[in-house]
Amino acid sequence: MSERKMTIDEQVAYLMQGTEYGDEELKQAMANELRLRLNEAEKVGRPLKVYCGFDPRTSDLHLGHTVPMRKLRQFQELGHEVVFLVGNYTSLIGDPSDKDKLRPQLTQEQVAANANTYAEQAYKVLDRSRLQIRYNAEWLSELSFAEVIKLASNFTIQQFINRENFRLRWENGDAIYLHETFYALMQGYDAYALRTDVQVGGTDQLFNIVTAARKLMTALGEKPNIAIILGILPGTDGEVKMSKSLGNHIPLLSTPEDMYGKVMSVPDKAMGLFYRLVTRWTPSEIAQIESAMASGSLHPRDAKMKLAREIVSIYHSEAEAEHAEQEFVRVFQQGDMPEQMAEYKLQEGVSLLDVLVTNQLVASKSEGRRMVTQNGVRLDGVTLTDPNQTFPHPGVLQVGKRRFLRVTP
């Protein structure tokens, strides 16, 4: 981001970048509220208080998890007060917002273990020195049953049934458990307890933030917070939400070379979302890139390489991003093997599928079978066609375009 102080209008454009409400009037209303709140804050010389809640249901983060963190970082850059809320109480339920079935409940021990590694990975995006970390058990565990009844009285059963994921389950005859409706109440109360000006979340949080949190804050006598609702980052297939279970994710803990290669595999049509959701670029910088591509002065491949360098630089370093780019050019544009690759000592009688899964060349056995049947697995350049065959012999195993393994005797 430029060191020049942004005007209020520039700040609004920057902070609304990547937002998606499914309703242009709602988006404009939130932008107008944000502009008013920024003006008020500037006049009295106080920062806005901004938060996003993170339920640590996993310790293995990928690029999709960082979308709201990137928005929090933008608020930090503009001098605002940011709270990283660990949902150690809401995680015990599991957010049903983007699920068509009941989420498994975690134990307190699982949540605590995940929260530690989650926060450490978040510091790759957020400025640790300007970040507050809070835990919502601090206030949610103190609510009495009478207080929960009072909170619940602000909502109707119809409001929950009309949510798409609940409605589909209802129509399909699938169970909707009563405790799942508590999640929106809990998240709404988080916003009230923190007395925030702004809440950040994805489109799957639209009901929880726009309906529940704003309504509860108003009912409890507070000015409702402004909802910054962000689009969902697609995976490397460019189609569906990035997910480890689908194998279309880019792990934060992957090597610079692997991260660079995975970004380069993203279809051109998804590049705009990546620009807006996971880079440090401002609206004007993104406009320049897209204008150059539209005019033909910048090739989409070169624009994607710029994107890959940016993302690797964030999670590793400029030098490692440059090296990853050199490796990519050498291996995938010039056809060479990587200089370094992981090694695996071949075990007697082990199958091809076992080698793929054991060495994390695929996310699951089903993905392994799919890669083999799609002719995506080669040993010393020869395509392997049977996932269940005994591994043929030592050599260089290649999966797809980017994954290599040296199999030794």
Bridge partners (DSSP) listed for residue 392: none
Residues 87 and 220 in one domain: yes
Residues 75 and 211 in one domain: yes
Which tens digit of pLDDT belongs to each residue from 138-174? 999 999 999 999 999 999 888 888 777 788 888 888 8
Residues 305 and 388 in one domain: no
Q: Look at residue 99 in the predicted model and tell me its pLDDT.
A: 47
Which tens digit of pLDDT belongs to each residue from 268-289? 999 999 999 999 999 999 999 9
Q: Which residues in the chain show pLDDT less than 50?
A: 1-3, 98-102
Task: Tell me the backbone φ, ψ of residue 306, rounded to 5 degrees.
Answer: -65, -40
Number of domains in the chain: 3
Q: Look at residue 142 in the predicted model and tell me its pLDDT.
A: 95
Report the alpha-carbon distance of residue 196 to residue 50 in Å, rounded: 6
CB 79 within 8 A of CB 130: no
- What is the secondary structure of 307-334 as a DSSP string? HHHHHHHHHS-HHHHHHHHHHHIIIIIS
Residues 115 and 260 in one domain: no
Give pTM, 2 decimals: 0.77
- The range of the structural domain enclosing residue 285 comes to 256-333
Tokens describing residue 240: 């569906």
CB 203 within 8 A of CB 229: yes
Residues 200 and 295 in one domain: no
Q: CA-based diameter of the chain, in Å?
A: 73
Task: Tell me the backbone φ, ψ of residue 159, rounded to 5 degrees.
Answer: -60, -35
Residues 187 and 308 in one domain: no
Q: Look at residue 98 in the predicted model and tell me its pLDDT.
A: 46
Q: Look at residue 204 in the predicted model and tell me its pLDDT.
A: 86
Q: Look at residue 23 in the predicted model and tell me its pLDDT.
A: 94
SS3 for 93-141 is CCCCCCCCCCCCCCCHHHHHHHHHHHHHHHCCCCCHHHEEEEECHHHHC
Report the alpha-carbon distance of residue 221 to residue 350 in Å, rounded: 65
Residues 186 and 112 in one domain: yes
Q: 236 lies in a domain?
A: no
Residues 35 and 148 in one domain: yes
Residues 121 and 165 in one domain: yes
Q: Look at residue 95 in the predicted model and tell me its pLDDT.
A: 55
Residues 94 and 30 in one domain: yes
Residues 6+ apart with CB under 8 A from 87: 53, 54, 55, 56, 136, 190
Q: 72 lies in a domain?
A: yes
Residues 401 and 269 in one domain: no
Which tens digit of pLDDT belongs to each residue from 299-346? 998 999 999 999 999 999 999 999 999 988 887 766 667 777 889 999
Q: Which helix (H) or strand (E) holds 345?
A: strand 342-345
CB 207 within 8 A of CB 180: no
- What sign does the CA torsion over 253, 257, 261, 263 have? positive
